[in-house]
Structure 1
Amino acid sequence: MANTSPLLALASIISSGARTLDEAYTQRGFSFPSLNEPFQPGPLDNDKDLANTTRLIVAAAHQIIATVRLPLDTIQDYAPAVYISSSLGFVDQTNIADVLKDKPQGVHINDISAKVDVDAVKIARILRYLATRHVFREVTPNVFANNRVSSFLVKARPFDELKPGSLTKYNGAPAAAFVGHVADEVFTSAVHIPSHICDPKGYESPFNMAYKTKKAVWEWYEEPENEWRGRRFTASMKGAGDHFPPSIFTEGFDWKSLKEGSVVVDVGGSVGAVALILAKAFPHLKYVVEDLEPVALDAQKFWAIQAPELVSSGQVTVQAQDFFQPQVVKQASVYFMRFILHDWPDSANEKILTHLRAAAGPDTKLVVFDSIMPHACPDEAGPPPPPFPLLANLGLPIGGFLTMMDLQMLTLMNGQERTFTQFVELGARTGWKFEAVKPGILPAFVFLPA
């Protein structure tokens, strides 16, 4: 492989992958979906083998672009990428994708303008910018339609109910909610990343610096004027959570090995949706769902609807618990958490894990479901390398998403996505010895008391 031209190797990955996709659809009697048509769920959308093929194509396509074009062109493409966020934020705020819904022939900018009460020429400029980047399509001059990408911005509620500040605007529309979240408070905060890194001026995160508040973003969302943003964030996160099948949690740890009546504590478990999955799969265990008091109240309502018999029987307990305070459930068989550690800097996580270690018994296990930040270079602790000459983290499809999430955590909460080594070291500093990790789309770390 060392004698193979990187350029030709990348081209080969793209061409062979494209043939694989085309043949798979042809064998099922379908054509590969057109970029020009709105998205429609298909029978091969969740095929794991094809998903891997797609990731390789995307990784190679981005790498071949960076390889063949002049470096100056790449810099001139990346530096003004702020316009992508701001343009997507504009079309989300004005609900333009909803105006274009079920209009495959397209809608003229004057008619869009009349519907959303925004200058037609500026609408055209924004939509043409996005259509040039394959979000929306310009059917004829100044006539725009949804395509496969922009159709994801269509919301679930009728257009007349999409009022600014509506608490229900993003219900059932996770992609639009994510765009709105990123193009609003994240975008506003991200411009402060350089200043915060160089001189935080006492602020915990770029978000705090941008909005001149000492409140954590969760507290900020609880302010009356930001409640709709909090609802939007929740809708966005629900969409992200829907990508994780229950098997991640049921198979991430050997729950069957625990003795009858063993106590499992869901630390920072929100309403307890994952605990519900585990309780149904492993009824021989007892579960405690913990979160802050307002969330715990919502959790009680959740369980009263979803499985009241598990609460009345004592199999499930819901209680208020701040994980920055001493853990009240002592010597549980398992303390587990998911997507908690990435929200916080090391100093905060050391407090969380130290409290759990103090409460642990000699046989307690700590199970952490969280993403692993892969290096862009080969790493003995990492997964098997992808085909030559792709980056070790596959670039955009894997590393691109996780590095984006890493900066998202930095921006909003001064948190971070961590490498395998950083997880092991964080455990060691807080009295937890690394035992094993189960890889997958959401890895599961298992620690023992040191």
Structure 2
Amino acid sequence: MSHRPWWCARLALPVVPSFQTSPGTRDILPPQAGRWRAFTSQFADIVESAGYECIIPPMFEDLGVFLRLGDATDVVTKEMYDFEDKGGRRIALRPEHTAGICRSFAQHRPTTPWKVWYSGSNFRYEKAQAGRFRQFDQVGIEVLGSTDALLDVEVISLGWQFFQSLGLTNVVLMINSLGDPEDRAAYIEALREYFESHSEKLSEESRATLQRNPLRVLDSKRVQDRTIIDAAPTISQFLSEDAQVHFTKVKAGLDALGVTYSVSEGLVRGLDYYQRTVFEYVSTSLDSAQTAVGGGGRYDGLVEDLGGPATPGVGFALGIDRTLLACDSEEVFQGASPQIDAFIVDVVDGMTALRLADELRAAGFTVDRAYDGRSMKSQMKVADRSGARIAIIIGPDEAEAGNCTVRNLMTSEQSLVLQTEVVTHLASIVGERNPRRNTQ
């Protein structure tokens, strides 16, 4: 029979939780979650100023919706989370928003132009790394119902304005045109012939990509491939006259708005539904594996592919994680915890604190309080840690007289105030707030 040493019983061993987050996911905790919320709110302010309305599409769809992304894309062939539900239907968690929004348009047939914005999670089974998760969040906009090149300009410029509003200065805009479907098909065939004639010089990965989708070879970052890629045919050699006119108008519109851009003929985007205008926002503050913080383009055939009427569309998506990494790199948009206006210290029975907190919150103030019957000293320590500007103190004398002591935690000044006048008095110190509800 073995006996543990007496000191083993006194060791405070760490408690290991039974469950942790799945690979490629994480908890977004305060205060970072508040930063995300502010990010989305700021995005909404900018795009709603241009007439975009919020849409909340389902998080999963019929698998067929996302197969329209292209059977040669990595998203479809490698990264989709799909399964058969209990009704025998093939379902997929959305890997992106555009296809689901186009399905929604085809189903509901709203009036055009239909301008919507979104914020939400997508899911892709890919290698987790900095700024890239298997569950990742994006904000974005989609416009359906117009082929006007100046609408492309509006979409691109709204993304640009948002990055500027965050304070980012190291984001560059890359644009290109993939032409019409016929132009793209001819270009893909020319790329296939070119790369096959140089396949012995390509990396093994690019040779495999060539069999699936020659366009994706252009994305290779391998040094071995770059010389071959740099000498490859360019899409501009295959653009129809209409596509050239459209792209020229896009560039002229961006010039008119003072939006700086570079034309990158190697920019093709990762999904097969794009045609004509494509673009990416690239952060020069991040390493080469995570430079793109957002992108989009025109997809004039996607609604029709999903069973709807022939309807042109254009939009973009911005990655929240990557954009916030860029903000961290440039030390902008750092976010802050909510400012507590007042902390209520009640050493009687807590009922007065309960009532006053409710009244002050209804009047628009941010108010916290302590629980568990703590002492005055303990509650004041909590008030100091909360960052509150004001402490509202209720002791036995104040409770009996219907008063409270209002102490400015920044200056230590204090005054005795009737509880019925505390809303007005607090407003005189921290400023008026917008009421959260009607208390009449």
* TM-score using structure 2 length: 0.21
- Structure 1 or 2, whichever has the larger Rg, is 2
TM-score, scaled relative to structure 1: 0.21
Looking at secondary structure, tell me which structure has more strand per residue. 2
Normalized per residue, which structure has more helix?
A: 1
